[in-house]
Amino acid sequence: MQHTDLDMAKIENNEDIGLAGLEAYSRALESRAYRLLTRIRELLDADDEERRGLDNSGSGSGSNGGRSNSGSNENGRHHGRGR
Contact of 68 with 53, CB cutoff 8 Å = yes
DSSP state of 62: S
Q: What is the pLDDT of residue 6?
A: 72
Contact of 69 with 58, CB cutoff 8 Å = no
Per-residue model confidence as pLDDT tens digits over 35-55: 999 999 999 999 999 999 888
Q: Looking at the domain assignment, is residue 9 inside a domain?
A: yes
What is the mean predicted confidence (pLDDT) over 60-83? 48
Q: Looking at the domain assignment, is residue 41 inside a domain?
A: yes
Q: Looking at the domain assignment, is residue 15 inside a domain?
A: yes
Range of the domain at 16: 5-57
Query: CA–CA separation, 22 vs 36, rounded Å?
Result: 21
Q: Looking at the domain assignment, is residue 20 inside a domain?
A: yes
What is the mean predicted confidence (pLDDT) over 56-73? 53
Work out how many domains the chain is built from and give that number.
1
Q: Looking at the domain assignment, is residue 35 inside a domain?
A: yes
- Backbone torsions φ then ψ of 78, nearest 5 degrees: -75, 135
